[in-house]
Chain A
Amino acid sequence: MRPGGTKPAGSGEGGHRRPRFAVSRATRASTVTALLAVPMVLLLFALPAFAGRALLQELFYVFTMLTLAQLWNLLAGCAGLMSVGQQAFVGVGAYALFAFTVIGGLDAAAAIVLGGAVAGIVALPAALIVFRLRGAYFAIGTWVVAEVCRLVLAQVKQLGGGTGTSLSPEVASSMIGLDFVRSFFQVRGSAARDMLTYWLALALALVTFFLVYKLLRSRYGLALSAIGDSEAAAESVGVDVFRTKLMIYVVTAIVTGMAGALIFLQKARISPDAAFSLIDWTAYVIFIVVIGGIGTMEGPIIGVAIFYLLQYYLAALGSWYLILLGALAILLMLFAPSGVWGVISHAFGLDLFPVRRRLIPLGVAGNDTKPQS
């Protein structure tokens, strides 16, 4: 598609007829969304002042799953690295937190950050190994890496071995900022912890959102698009495919590790099976991204909302709930592979968090083209 419509054959490169363009990203819908989002986020931050603990805990789950979903979406949907092994980094981050607090005596908040760092460090050699595989085999390779992490950590007796361990009350109640929250809101220690972890989860979800958004709108985002279309072609125009993929893999591992650390800080109890659970940290996450709309910014948000509702009403069905999720995933892939958001955005032409650039022709006489998107 050439900008400015088709030139008549043989007209040559006429200078005075050359169309001019502006490059724009914002759509009307995106501007509206940005304006609406600000008060909504402020409301979410203020929530602990008047909401009960149960609601905060539910939202904690939503925000942490949203974080994981956004990260998996970046990895698989945008970078084409279809991993079914992200639970490796959830578990490593979580175990790092337990190690730093229980054994190392560090503050829990610092341990969250360190948990992310450790996950990032593990991700480097893991990447070098699994990047030798492609496609579906890459996916299973990441799974093997997660299994190795699980089996190795199950051997560490100081962290509870195969049965796991709990976070002692001293550790749980000594987090930075906890005293301030306790006195400011006049609540007991455990309620204060719920508030604090809620804010951390909300902050992490927002930070992840902006991280992914900025990444996709940067040169790296373009590189990822190119890699997704054709690695060979991307290499030929100067994209360092390996380093780009490595960077994305490690960055998502770091933030996934932080999410894992936070999740298990809140649970205050860890075991290898829970920390490295394929269902909890990969199957549900993949489902969220797929039902929402893979490869889009809006997808994980919609997906987590739908998933939460399904979970709330149907989780009591046990195995049948999981069978239903599996069947839904299959039907989605067959009939609506772009997810709920894909259907909506296609039907209404909406783009709330635009990532692509559009060309808008600036009034050239005689050019009867619509702006191309």
Chain B
Amino acid sequence: MTVLETRELTAFYGDFQALFGISFALEEGETVAIIGANGAGKSTFLKAIAGLLPRPAAAVRLDGRDIGALPAFEIVKLGVALVPEGRRLFPSLSVEENLLVGAYGRRLDGPWSLAAIYRLFPVLEERRQAPSTTLSGGQQQMVAIGRSLMSNPRILLCDELSLGLAPIVIRDIYAALADIKARGTSVVLVEQDLVHAMSVADRAYCFMEGRVSLTGRPKDLTREAIHAAYFGL
């Protein structure tokens, strides 16, 4: 069943057009990767779905219902959570407070709670009272993910989870992602790390200059095809 789809989604930053009619679908329980070069519009795409950018009302549908006209804080309550690029934790809140604030727009039916997040990321429990700014990049990413999980999302949008992190930390993050997937959450993963992205995704889209340049199952996509779609050569 298609839980999330976009139809001819366009997005602008002022006069600058970042997305030129993206059509996309996410099935329940699926993990879809979105890859592409910098500036291809991947983050813009997630922001548009999450409601941080203005978009046409019928361009984004959740469970068959148009949500394009809804503001971001309503969309979270419908079960779509975005883990933003660059973590963007709240600097004046502690680790635990960052997690708790994620529960502000929480859906009641779901497995996630503070205790569950601490089980997923035990290191956070040790540093629960610390100011969020004193954590390492990897730990901050864990807080960012945990914060979004606290709203019990059905769909998790992840923007560049591995950005700026060491390989060993990325491994831990992706291990947690497997746990999240196992609970039935549908995931849209924007990644520059092709290897990791393709290893966990059921399907992939490649973006180039605001358009979809390639789509398919990872095992069906050849390196040459991906290369061409990524760089447009």
Contacts and interface: CB of A to CB of B under 8 A. Distances in A.
- Direct A–B contact in complex, judged by CB atoms less than 8 Å apart: yes
Interface of A: 1, 9
A44 B209 CA distance: 59
B232 interface: yes
B15 A9 contact: no
Nearest to A1: B15
A1 B209 CA distance: 15
A229 to B, nearest CB: 11
A9 B15 CA distance: 20
Contacts of B209: 9
Interface of B: 15, 209, 232
B76 to A, nearest CB: 29
3 contacts: A1-B15, A9-B209, A9-B232
Contacts of A1: 15
A9 B209 CA distance: 11
A1 B15 CA distance: 9
Nearest to A9: B232
Contacts of A9: 209, 232
Nearest to B15: A1
Contacts of B15: 1
B227 to A, nearest CB: 16
A-B interface, 3 closest residue pairs, ranked by CB to CB distance from nearest: A1-B15, A9-B232, A9-B209
B220 to A, nearest CB: 26
Nearest to B233: A10
A72 to B, nearest CB: 28
A83 B206 CA distance: 50
A9 B231 CA distance: 12
A196 B201 CA distance: 83
A32 B122 CA distance: 75
B47 to A, nearest CB: 21
A9 B232 CA distance: 9
Contacts of B232: 9
A67 to B, nearest CB: 35
A1 B12 CA distance: 13
Nearest to B209: A9
A272 to B, nearest CB: 44
A203 to B, nearest CB: 42
A243 to B, nearest CB: 30
A346 to B, nearest CB: 16
A1 B17 CA distance: 10
A369 to B, nearest CB: 15
Nearest to B232: A9
Nearest to B16: A1
B189 to A, nearest CB: 27
B211 to A, nearest CB: 11
